[in-house]
Amino acid sequence: MSDIYPVNPEFAAHARIDRAAYERDYRASVDDPDAFWGRAAQRLDWFRAPTRVRDVSFALEDFRIRWFDDGELNASVNCLDRHLATRGDRTALIWEADSPETAPRHVSYRELHERVCRLGNALRALGVEKGDRVTIYLPMIVEAAVAMLACARIGAVHSVVFGGFAPNSIADRVSDCASKLIITADEGLRGGRKVPLKANVDAALKLPGTSTVETVLVVRHTGAAVDMQMPRDRWYDAVVDPQPAECEAERMNAEDPLFILYTSGSTGKPKGVLHTTGGYLLYASYTHEAVFDLREDDVYWCTADVGWVTGHSYIVYGPLANGATSLMFEGVPNYPDYSRFWQVIDRHKVTIFYTAPTAIRALMREGEGPVKATSRASLRLLGSVGEPINPEAWRWYFDVVGDSRCPIVDTWWQTETGGILISPLPGAIDLKPGSATLPFFGVQPALVDAAGQLLEGATEGNLVILDSWPGQMRTVYGDHQRFIDTYFKAYPGMYFTGDGCRRDADGYYWITGRVDDVINVSGHRIGTAEVESALVSHPKVAEAAVVGFPHDIKGQGIYAYVTLVAGEAESDELLKELVAHVRREIGPIASPDFLQWAPGLPKTRSGKIMRRILRKIAENAPDQLGDTSTLADPSVVDSLVRHRHGA
Ligand code: WT7
């Protein structure tokens, strides 16, 4: 049914891991995880090497996930100090600006170490102590990586908030973890447009729950004039530049928190996914090396933003722990034109390129011209992440971008997993367009039916993972019970991913998408509940229901049904106002693509909104509505179908 792209023999000849090695090591990793991961842990530098490998139980009555828990290390030492003797002059980060006219910057490991040390000292001088939380709200500039590593150096827990989030979302995240300090910039730049980062922080800090913030460090980036509220606000360079260039690194236990990253779930506010130091760093670096078949001379580029987990694991921690050269791009794929990605590849001789299906689909729509105008001869490996890649986009990526020469690693993972769980190893595993293929070492995926029965062979079901891996999240910050309830209650003894999945006769995994109330918009997770609560916070809205629908470029789009309070009139003006309201409340990524007035919503007699029906209407599949007889008022469905957006 599907075609197979066998391992490229030329690629395999130089690859780190071939098929036999994959099979042998995978076996070893699940037969004796203690021995396997104990050996793997030697890739990190430890102040005190761990003697214990894992202490794990997914059982509800005796729940624990601990890895290397008598080991001590520091993540920034692993990403910086240990490279200085052998590769201090090697480029750690290449910074490519939003505009091609702005000169790129190369930051060596030595320089990065120095900058991280100065900021680490500055943070300590400002009273930040081990265990304190620091919020980072920065554009894609070198200081973002410096800030993360400086926190890691002094044992502060960073929480990076994506620069596209609005003041409300910043405030929620700051207050949930009681941040003491925020690092931001005057403005960001994306596609020639300015993002008022400092002004957003100012607005966020006027909101309740944010009074824990004592200091805001402001990086001068665009040079725009911003309000500085003294003594709270301090210019980054004024505070950081005078600091000493050496900063003693905190000895961290492997299970000490490294960072919190907020992600949307099916209910309530975003969860603070907490990752710890040893297991996370080990897993990020190991997967980065193996999945991307990392070589000494690679120039590696992941186009994600550091505001998402992909940026954490595969721009900063994985590549830098491996001593690699990692490119940070401030801009967007279509500015100043649709050749931008490929021009950057040629400019810096990028060898490994890792991006998202939504970007590929958007670029594919522009045709081959902008790609073929560039050489891309340096490329040897391509990667995809964030959502299922449709086979058509996969083939275009392979044939047009990679000139049919470069394997594609379709990497499935989640904020919660810390690193890649299912992906081809490019020298080992035959590719099938649209499949993330086989599990990484130590990862035991399985499919279950709704009742939690394990399903064997070629079949489809809910994707679970049967045992822990070092990069697994450890808790939801401040709410351990929510962690257990969200991931380990549905199927006792297993980690539930929230994804549906098919397994074919070769044992390959094909992720089919979320099975919960999470929408994947351009590879970003949006909780339907968050968009609904933003809509309902508008005084004219009585009720709202939000669902995903298939979208050509974004993968999924956001479709909102809105019921107004009695007496309010539906109008195009109000519709625009409500979309703008959601942007203001959450951020542009949560803007509904369509908004439909709903005089009534389909509800069961007990008052539960039947989203299944709303999804079918949004998909324009009114013939698949299924049984509507259990609804309190079946007639609302006909009315919604008749007035569907675009009907
Ligand atoms: C969800 C996780 C992984 C970092 C970026 C997103 C979807 C992710 C793939 C893929 C099919 C994928 C899943 C997953 N997803 N990668 N290669 N194929 N689906 O992290 O925001 O935590 O979202 O993204 O649905 O559950 P995230």
SS (H, E, C) 455-468: ECCCEEEEEEECCC
Within 8 A by CB and 6+ apart from 608, the residues are none
**What is the mean predicted confidence (pLDDT) over 389-402?**
97
Query: Quick check: 337 and 373 in contact, CB under 8 A?
Result: no
Q: How far apart are CA 521 and CA 590, in angstroms?
A: 8
Full-model pTM: 0.96
Q: Is the CB of 305 under 6 A from ligand 1?
A: no
Q: Does residue 268 register a pLDDT over 90?
A: no
Read off the pLDDT band of 578 (50, 70, 90): very high
Q: How far apart are CA 221 and CA 60, in angstroms?
A: 48
Q: Which of 315, 412, 431, 521 best tests ligand 1's pocket when mutated (most atoms within 8 Å of CB)?
A: 412
Q: How far apart are CA 405 and CA 394, in angstroms?
A: 13
Distance (Å) of CA 499 to CA 433, 511, 633: 19, 7, 32
Per-residue pLDDT of 496-522, as tens digits, reads 999 999 999 999 999 999 999 999 999
* Tokens 């994947």 belong to residue: 520
**What is the mean predicted confidence (pLDDT) over 635-643?**
91
Mean pLDDT (the chain) is 96
Length of the chain: 647
Read off the pLDDT band of 115 (50, 70, 90): very high
- Binding-site residues, in ranges, read 190-193, 310, 334, 386-388, 410-415, 499, 514, 522, 525, 536, 538, 541, 583
Q: Is the CB of 498 under 6 A from ligand 1?
A: yes
Q: What is the DSSP letter of 60?
A: G
Q: Is the CB of 314 under 6 A from ligand 1?
A: no
Q: Does residue 1 register a pLDDT over 70?
A: no
Q: Which string of DSSP letters, residue by residue, matches 268-305?
A: SSPEEEEEEHHHHHHHHHHHHHHHTT--TT-EEEE---
* The pair of three-digit structure tokens given for residue 507, joined into one six-digit string: 């044992």
Does the ipTM surpass 0.85?
yes
Q: Is the CB of 310 under 6 A from ligand 1?
A: yes
Query: Quick check: 382 and 408 in contact, CB under 8 A?
Result: yes
Query: Quick check: 171 and 209 in contact, CB under 8 A?
Result: yes
* Tokens 């910050």 belong to residue: 477
Indicate which atom in ligand 1 lies nearest the CA of residue 420: 3
Residue 541: count of CB within 10 angstroms of its CB: 20
Q: What is the structure's pLDDT at 622?
A: 86
Within 8 A by CB and 6+ apart from 462, the residues are 447, 448, 449, 450, 490, 491, 496, 497, 499, 500, 501, 515
Per-residue pLDDT of 54-76, as tens digits, reads 999 999 999 999 999 999 999 99
**What is the mean predicted confidence (pLDDT) over 272-277?**
98
Q: What is the structure's pLDDT at 2?
A: 63
Query: Quick check: 103 and 129 in contact, CB under 8 A?
Result: no
Max Cα-Cα span within the chain: 73
Per-residue pLDDT of 170-187, as tens digits, reads 999 999 999 999 999 999
Q: Is the CB of 471 under 6 A from ligand 1?
A: no
Per-residue pLDDT of 201-242, as tens digits, reads 999 999 999 999 999 999 999 999 999 999 999 999 999 999
Residue type, position 425, single letter? L
Q: What is the structure's pLDDT at 647?
A: 61
What residue ranges in 517-554 does DSSP mark as E strands?
A: 518-521, 524-527, 541-551
Residue 219: count of CB within 10 angstroms of its CB: 23
Per-residue pLDDT of 117-134, as tens digits, reads 999 999 999 999 999 999
Task: Name which of 131-135, 204-208, 361-365, 604-608 the model is least confident about.
Answer: 604-608
Sign of the alpha-carbon torsion through 14, 16, 22, 27: positive
Query: Quick check: 275 and 258 in contact, CB under 8 A?
Result: yes
Q: How far apart are CA 598 and CA 637, in angstroms?
A: 10
Indicate which atom in ligand 1 lies nearest the CA of residue 514: 25
Nearest to 196 by CA among 221, 179, 216, 174: 221
How many whole angstroms from its chain centre is CA 246? 32
Ranges of H-type helices in 424-548:
480-488, 528-536
Q: Which of 354, 487, 520, 530 best tests ligand 1's pocket when mutated (most atoms within 8 Å of CB)?
A: 520
Indicate which atom in ligand 1 lies nearest the CA of residue 436: 17
Most confident region among 154-168, 600-614, 619-633 by mean pLDDT: 154-168
End-to-end CA distance of the chain: 35
Query: Quick check: 321 and 44 in contact, CB under 8 A?
Result: yes
